Amino acid sequence: MADLSTKFTGIRFENPFLLSSAPPTESDSNIMRAFDAGWGGVVTKTIGLHPVVNVKGPKTKFLRADNNGYRISMNKRPESTLLASWNWELISDKPLDWWIGKLSRIKKAYPAKILVASIMAGSGNDKELHNWQTLTKACQDEGVDALELNFSCPHMDRVDMGSNVGKDKVLCSVVTQAVKQVAKVPVWVKLTPATADIVEEAQASFRGGADAISSSNTFPSLPVIDPNTLEFEMNVEGYVSSGGLGGPAILPLSLAKMSQMTKALPDKEFSGIGGVSTFDHALCYFLLGCGTVQVCTAAMLDQAIGPKAVRLSGRIRIF
């Protein structure tokens, strides 16, 4: 078998394909199943300190287009093709204490696999910067190989979190610097695509000490409206809010964001995310200068963790 190993931010990966931080990586059992399936690395569902209460009902749905027409709908039906995923799920609703012990057990069971802890706290004051440091020290003490700072969730329940950090270059730099003060492992920053010039936030993150940038997270969006009921296809008791669009539809958009950064910062390291379902898609990111690629939607549609991942049959095939 061909050697697919690579080094990224100083870490040796068996292969450059990771499961991204998302619902499939919220449990230790799923993470271990992903390693068994062949993924070179896994980024956990984002871990925080504040209480998280997710919306009622479905948190993720998939947008499909008719094969012989122009209808786009979340309703599953024959003769249709997956266009995108859509979710309004928040970060992990499991507290930090739940993760402690489980992260170390995963690393002990899979020492050659790369486990990245995604973390998130607030911004704008010393208390929240301390929360970032608390999460950093707790996760690295568990033996994780790297940290990914979530500056990118488009629908957090607090205005000082997620993409609101990623849209502010000062916060990007300050938070990253606070984490780097205590971090003993590489620090990746996951940026939101919902910004006028993503290069500015990337530059600010690197000034703060980031070892790499991950991009893109999902794009802010609304579910479509059912023309028969005049209701949003995804709602809770008639109410709706912005969610995140992912999957195949965002591949060209995410590539554009990545190309801006790799062109402006050719000597820095990047992990590509967004719309990857096949090796051809991953190749686009590699050719733009990414060292690793992360996958979510394709894996979610294949038993949550993509057991068909990383096969070598002439070409690597993901899902």
Under a CB-based contact definition with an 8 Å cutoff, are residues 232 and 225 in contact? yes
Say what the pLDDT of residue 165 is: 96
Give the residue among 223, 230, 273, 280 at the shortest CA–CA distance from 83.
223
How many angstroms separate the CA atoms of 200 and 197, rounded?
6
236 — pLDDT class (breaks 50, 70, 90): confident
Say what the pLDDT of residue 314 is: 35
CA 15 to chain centre: 18
Say what the pLDDT of residue 308 is: 66
Mean pLDDT for the stretch of residues 196-220 = 97
188: β partners: 148, 212
Q: Where are the domains of the chain?
A: 6-317
How many angstroms separate the CA atoms of 165 and 264, rounded?
21
For residue 110, give the amino acid letter.
Y
Say what the pLDDT of residue 305 is: 76
- CATH C-level class of 6-317: alpha beta
Mean pLDDT for the stretch of residues 199-204 = 98
Say what the pLDDT of residue 318 is: 44
Q: At what angle do helices 279-288 and 251-264 cross, to 10 degrees?
A: 20
The model's pLDDT over 251-291, given as tens digits with 9 standing for 90+, comes to 999 999 999 999 999 999 999 999 998 899 999 999 999 99
How many angstroms separate the CA atoms of 99 and 108, rounded?
14
**Which one is catalytic: 139, 153, 172, 284?**
153
DSSP line for 162-227: THHHHT-HHHHHHHHHHHHTT--S-EEEEE-S-SS-HHHHHHHHHHTT-SEEEE--PEEE-PPBPT
Under a CB-based contact definition with an 8 Å cutoff, are residues 246 and 211 in contact? no
Could you identify the residue written with the tokens 């984490």?
179
Predicted structure pTM score: 0.95
Element (H, E) at 81: strand 80-87
The length of the chain, given as a count of residues: 319
Instruction: Sort 118 into a burial class: Cβ within 10 Å, 0-12 / 13-18 / 19+.
Output: buried
Residue 305 dihedral angles phi and psi, to the nearest 5°: -125, 10
Residue 263: count of CB within 10 angstroms of its CB = 11
Say what the pLDDT of residue 316 is: 47
Say what the pLDDT of residue 106 is: 98
Please say if 153 is a catalytic residue. Answer: yes
Percent of the chain with pLDDT over 70: 96
The model's pLDDT over 298-309, given as tens digits with 9 standing for 90+, comes to 988 887 777 665
For residue 40, give the amino acid letter.
G
156 — pLDDT class (breaks 50, 70, 90): confident
The model's pLDDT over 14-54, given as tens digits with 9 standing for 90+, comes to 999 999 999 889 999 999 999 999 999 999 999 999 888 87
Mean pLDDT for the stretch of residues 196-203 = 97
The model's pLDDT over 45-98, given as tens digits with 9 standing for 90+, comes to 999 998 888 777 778 999 999 999 999 999 999 999 999 999 998 899 999 999
Q: Is the pLDDT of residue 313 over 60?
A: no
317 — pLDDT class (breaks 50, 70, 90): very low
1 — pLDDT class (breaks 50, 70, 90): low
Percent of the chain with pLDDT over 90: 82
Residue 189 dihedral angles phi and psi, to the nearest 5°: -115, 125
